[in-house]
Amino acid sequence: MDWFAAPEYWLSRLLVQRLLAAVYLTGFLAAAAQFRALIGADGMLPVPRYTARVSFRQAPGLFHLHYSDRFFAAVAWTGAAVSAGLVAGLGDAVPLWASVLLWALLWVLYLSIVNVGQTWYSFGWESLLLEAGFLAAFLGNDDDAPPVLVLWLMRWLVFRVEFGAGLIKLRGDSCWRDLTCLRYHHETQPMPGPLSWFFHHLPAPLHRVEAAANHVTQLLVPVGLFLPQPVATYAACVIVATQLWLVASGNFAWLNWLTITLALAAVDPTRLGLPVHPRTYGGTPGWFEAVVIALAVVVAVLSYWPVRNLVSRRQVMNRSFNRLHLVNTYGAFGSVNRIRQEVVVEGTDEPTVTRHTVWREYDFKGKPGDVRRLPRQYAPYHLRLDWLMWFAGISPAYARPWFLPFVARLLTNDPATLRLLRHNPFPDAPPTHVRATLHHYRFTDWRELRETGAWWHRTPLHEYLAPVTIDTLARSGYRPPLGRRTRSVPVDGLRRRPGHPPGPAPHHPIGPPG
């Protein structure tokens, strides 16, 4: 069918698939590196304990059939290998049907991880990666021209990401309406980057321009994606430019890179004056046309719930309306924190805690700690523990299911947990006590930076967790490791007294900017 194919988008299709495969690769590598401490059999929120209380129907995936840390690692590394192959062009080197199956395999593997990831995997960009990856399976390969319907479905996905984020801001915090949110955001965002300090110190009028430009980019520009060329191409380019601004201003995992990738589906390279040579293709297989049409029908039906959410006065952010994470609703930063509160975790090797006790601080890879350390750039890699520590500073109740298990693993020098940190102040033997305090962090100004060399200024607020030992945790209802050897926590993790299991982790109340 002539209307089915869009051969002029062959370069856009190639870029979308290769970049999306690179994001998948990042996700699988992060899962392989971090899962043992977070959700492994000895993790803070173990998968076996989760699958024992949540059915396959509630959270479909491979780990309901079998779980072991070795099997999880095999799933993650298999996903990484297939992703790397697709980045290198494997999808174009195999027949069309095989390319579809390779992309479908990635989706199944990552869906299996997300659906047992609990709080650690409740970010909006997990659903975005799954939805984008599912659509990419039907973009085809070099054997056939890109399907028009799938390109339009990707535009619809970008529209929901941007428009949903724009609406939640307009309906949420008043600082978005009076254009003052950017006075605070660069300082209080979950994980600042190396340029965030400089963005924070931009002139106040420029912060207002940033906020106004955000409304234009998220509420007006996305409509241009559905207009004829070259308007759609120009709209996509504006979205790409805005996302690159966000990449420079902070660490938001792969959300910005995914949005850039999806926006390229609306770009006709010839409209930008690029020397792109046209390509000719043969006829598209009938089975592939039928599958793509069926996909479009399914997305149209499932879009009812995201659309209803968009027009609702009670709009929610980052919600999946089905367990397959298809056709979701997105949004971010409906509210912006005015101050930054950070949980500082410390330990001591002294047998008894007194007011003279010397405490040594645990240093995290990404979240603010040492005031003289410039924030690092980690995105698109996702430091899951660092992100959850930001939420812990906002809400102790939100951190309750995993924070004490985290502390218990510090008290035993659990190797998997320590690999998530930048520095372990107790390399030879575990600490005897661990405590946590809440601090107010703010960026220093230019004068303070020159005089002290510090990027942050921090002020203690109050005790977050009183000094605890392994025995203290046992008496409070948690089962500690056996003795105080340098080993991990038992297979089912730290548990409350019988009858008080932790409930399923909710979705994050807020998220990174779209």
* pLDDT tens-digit readout, 241-274: 999 999 999 999 999 999 999 999 999 998 888 8
Cβ atoms of 416 and 343 within 8 Å: the answer is: no
**CA separation for the pair 218, 438 (Å, rounded):** 35
**CA separation for the pair 344, 172 (Å, rounded):** 30
Poorest-pLDDT segment among 129-143, 259-273, 303-317, 486-500: 486-500
**Does residue 22 belong to any structural domain of this protein?**
no
Which whole number is the average pLDDT over 390-395?
Answer: 94
**CA separation for the pair 297, 294 (Å, rounded):** 5
Helix pair angle (148-171, 255-263), 10° resolution: 130
pLDDT band at 277 (very low <50, low <70, confident <90, very high): confident
Given a cut of 60, is residue 353 above it in pLDDT?
Answer: yes
Which whole number is the average pLDDT over 118-134?
Answer: 96
Which whole number is the average pLDDT over 89-105?
Answer: 97
Cβ atoms of 30 and 36 within 8 Å: the answer is: no
Cβ atoms of 175 and 333 within 8 Å: the answer is: no
**Does residue 432 belong to any structural domain of this protein?**
yes
**Does residue 370 belong to any structural domain of this protein?**
yes
**pLDDT at 478 (0 to 100):** 66
**Does residue 403 belong to any structural domain of this protein?**
yes
Cβ atoms of 186 and 251 within 8 Å: the answer is: no
Domain count, the chain: 1
Structure tokens at 126: 């997990």
Q: Is 502 strand, coil or helix? A: coil
Mean pLDDT of the chain: 91
**Does residue 105 belong to any structural domain of this protein?**
no
Structure tokens at 360: 């040594």
CB atoms within 10 A of CB 66: 9
pLDDT band at 1 (very low <50, low <70, confident <90, very high): low
**pLDDT at 490 (0 to 100):** 31
**Does residue 427 belong to any structural domain of this protein?**
yes
**CA separation for the pair 139, 20 (Å, rounded):** 12
Given a cut of 90, is residue 483 above it in pLDDT?
Answer: no
Q: Could you tell me the end-to-end alpha-carbon distance of the chain, in angstroms, rounded to an integer?
A: 36
Q: pTM of the full predicted structure?
A: 0.91
Given a cut of 50, is residue 501 above it in pLDDT?
Answer: no
Cβ atoms of 491 and 41 within 8 Å: the answer is: yes
| 421, amino acid identity | L
pLDDT band at 485 (very low <50, low <70, confident <90, very high): very low
How many CA atoms are closer than 13 Å to the CA of 51, on its beta-carbon side?
22
Range of the domain at 407: 340-475
- Percent over 70 (pLDDT), the chain: 92
> Which pLDDT tens digit goes with each residue over 297-350?
999 999 999 999 999 989 999 999 999 999 999 998 889 999 999 999 999 999
Q: Residue 230, preceding bond cis, omega within 30 degrees?
A: yes
- Reduced DSSP (H G I as helix, E B as strand, rest coil) percent helix, strand, coil of the chain, to 5: 55, 10, 40
**Does residue 451 belong to any structural domain of this protein?**
yes
**Does residue 395 belong to any structural domain of this protein?**
yes
pLDDT band at 282 (very low <50, low <70, confident <90, very high): confident
